[in-house]
Amino acid sequence: MNPIHVVGGGLAGSEAAWQIAQAGVPVVLHEMRPERMTEAHRTRGLAELVCSNSFRSDDANANAVGLLHQEMRRLGSLIMACGDRHQVPAGGALAVDRDGFSDAVTAALEAHPLVTIDRAEVAGLPPDTWDSVVVATGPLTSPALAEAILALTGETSLAFFDAIAPIVHRDSIDMGKAWFQSRYDKAGPGGTGADYINCAMNRDEYEAFIDALLAGEKTEFKEWENTPYFDGCLPIEVMAERGRETLRHGPMKPVGLTNPHTPERPYAVVQLRQDNALGTLFNMVGFQTKLKYGEQSRIFRMIPGLEGAEFARLGGLHRNTYLNSPRLLDPTLRMKAQPRLRFAGQITGCEGYVESAAVGLMAGRFAAAERLGVPLRPLPHTTAMGALINHITGGHIETIDEGPRSFQPMNVNFGLFPPLERAPKSPDGKRLRGAGKTRAKKQALTDRARADLAAWLGRDVVSVAAE
């Protein structure tokens, strides 16, 4: 049988190679380190963790990444098995001994009879003779390969100074203070005239907010992060440093908006724009920031209507290489323009170690199923993995004003899941409120995911073969 080629032995590529080999298909894993290093990797080990050593929460009932851990374990994930074996104490989180973890992943792949490891850079498009390839070269993809992919996609950019704005769960916004309206009620193509959620500030609230932004603790740039950013995506605290009124004339301008809750004219307005097709997530327009995470939560909750905001993702700035996946990839992660190429990991626009490995897991299974000639069955969108892959390959909606690059990297979170058909009730049938309601909703979402994954596993030929 012709081997499948996996390019990049990081979190996604290592998992993809493992899944392919476990399905009985030979695989060649191409990793350029140590011959050529990236700006962040320090070792020759596969699945090196470049920064923190945490896989985040391991709670499969109350946290989307915990649920993702559980699903990956069920699907025979190498990354999760090695993570579990090299766990270090970290409360409710799964944190790992990074060297022990990476050594274990490397040893498992080196020992697998169907895996060949080629320590060389793939410095351009993979040769035509490779008829099935998983590209998993991550946020720091080598320039030669990045340029070749760019030429293939017809996009204008692939590597970005990733200026990301926070994303808020819609149901945590206080609509007693906020309201839906588009500026000047413009409907535009595909809009209704009431597409944005608006949060108004009076003068005192605005001044206090600017003081907080100026005083807030910022993260420092790492030396290698020298990609320029453009004026169009300046962090809000940098704008505030340029003048106390700059934000009021930029992303927080109050014009064309009328607060229905009060006759008072807004002094400044924060707008949030729908971020996913489900309408469960809204991003803070123009609020890219390099404030520290704790500071972001504290300062953004000063905004009227966002006092109880739950963030699906906080803002940040770093270099990143990722595809405009919703446009370029099909539901099984193949590039539409060249289906022999599949993509996995952070280059597809997911964010995080676990998410990258999860997308690698599915890319590996999709590639193996295709090679074996068995049906490719996408995961239900109600599972954590299905929700994540759906977001990457189609769930995200492009916004008119930001265009295709409104697609931004994303951690797994409950906002990506289709809403429950019925709100959970208390055992005696009463409506739940507050923290009890949130807990019950998460429990119901995760129970539904487990049931749907079990049903999918029962039918999926590759999964059965692999277990």
- Residue 37 CB, nearest approach to ligand FAD (Å): 7
H or E stretch covering 162: strand 159-164
Nearer CB in complex with ligand FAD: 108/140: 140
Contacts of 376 (CB under 8 A, 6+ apart): 332, 366, 369, 370
In the complex, the residues that contact ligand FAD under the rule CB under 6 A are 7-13, 30-33, 38, 40-41, 50-52, 121-122, 136-142, 145, 345-347, 352-353, 356
Work out the angle at residue 41's Cα, subtended by the Cα atoms of residues 38 and 43, and round it to the nearest 5 degrees: 120
| Pairing verdict, β 268-274 and 281-284 | antiparallel
Nearer CB in complex with ligand FAD: 338/438: 338
Nearer CB in complex with ligand FAD: 29/239: 29
- Residue 364 CB, nearest approach to ligand FAD (Å): 12
Contact 382, 455 (CB under 8 A): no
- Residue 432 CB, nearest approach to ligand FAD (Å): 32
DSSP string, 383-396: SHHHHHHHIIIIIB
- Residue 245 CB, nearest approach to ligand FAD (Å): 35
Contacts of 341 (CB under 8 A, 6+ apart): 126, 133, 135, 334, 335
Distance in angstroms (rounded) separating the CA atoms of residues 363 and 21: 13
Nearer CB in complex with ligand FAD: 148/233: 148
CA atoms within 13 A on the CB side of 8: 31
Burial of 14 (0-12, 13-18, 19+ CB in 10 A): buried
- Residue 399 CB, nearest approach to ligand FAD (Å): 24
Residue closest to ligand FAD, measured at CB: 10
Nearer CB in complex with ligand FAD: 53/274: 53
Nearer CB in complex with ligand FAD: 269/363: 363
Nearer CB in complex with ligand FAD: 137/383: 137
- Residue 13 CB, nearest approach to ligand FAD (Å): 6
Distance in angstroms (rounded) separating the CA atoms of residues 366 and 384: 17
277: amino acid identity, one letter: A
- Residue 374 CB, nearest approach to ligand FAD (Å): 26
Distance in angstroms (rounded) separating the CA atoms of residues 145 and 332: 22
